[in-house]
Chains A and B, each alone.
Chain A
């Protein structure tokens, strides 16, 4: 069964304090791994799609990496506006368009 586990559940950082969020997954035939950002009361906002192990993508202070078992979202020198819940999801070859989501990591960046 396809599964996604994110850690930690919650993370508090000081502004400028870099860290990483983890997404561990099991899936039969990975088609893609997705990272989303979700602000309270809003829908998830797309950040990255990673397709194969070794792939990396960057956007401003965020960098996503992928191995065969996990993905990391690295946040460099975060700012308070980076505070949000970050969601990881996978799409496997056995699923018709279905995204399997993790529970998310809620990040709080204090000034």
Chain B
């Protein structure tokens, strides 16, 4: 198992609900990411945080709202979702931002399986 944990592992919600996904990394990394993985599609980057600052929003609808209170924790707040938002949501972390130059490896959590009814 990796040093990135996610809760809950499974979530079922109605379109009018508000819920939050939580991610915590125990690797001492400075960058954190949210990805969406839908069936038969490649992983899609949603948000990037470097040193608690959001550096990328990959045209994600406003019904997804990220929050990064510190370099170890990342949240994804969900509200008024659509059935097509059902997917596996993955959190990842890396040592340093790409802004510092050079590639760095991202380590993933186990994911939250989200079902929107």
Contacts and interface: CB of A to CB of B under 8 A. Distances in A.
Contact of A97 (B56, B90, B108): B56
Contact count band on B? 20 to 34
Contacts of B99: 96-97
Interface in A11-55: 31-32, 34, 36, 41-46, 49, 51
B74 interface: no
A99 B76 CA distance: 19
Contacts of B109: 43
A35 B2 CA distance: 16
Contacts of B6: 43
Contact of A43 (B50, B102, B104, B111): B111
B33 A87 contact: no
Interface residues of A, number: 26
A97 B50 contact: yes
Given A41-B113, A98-B56, A103-B40, 10 more contacts: A4-B42, A43-B90, A43-B110, A45-B108, A46-B108, A89-B43, A96-B99, A97-B50, A97-B97, A97-B99
Interface of A: 4, 31-32, 34, 36, 41-46, 49, 51, 87, 89, 91, 95-104
Interface of B: 2, 4, 6, 31, 33, 40-43, 45, 48, 50, 55-56, 58, 88, 90, 92, 94, 97-99, 102-111, 113
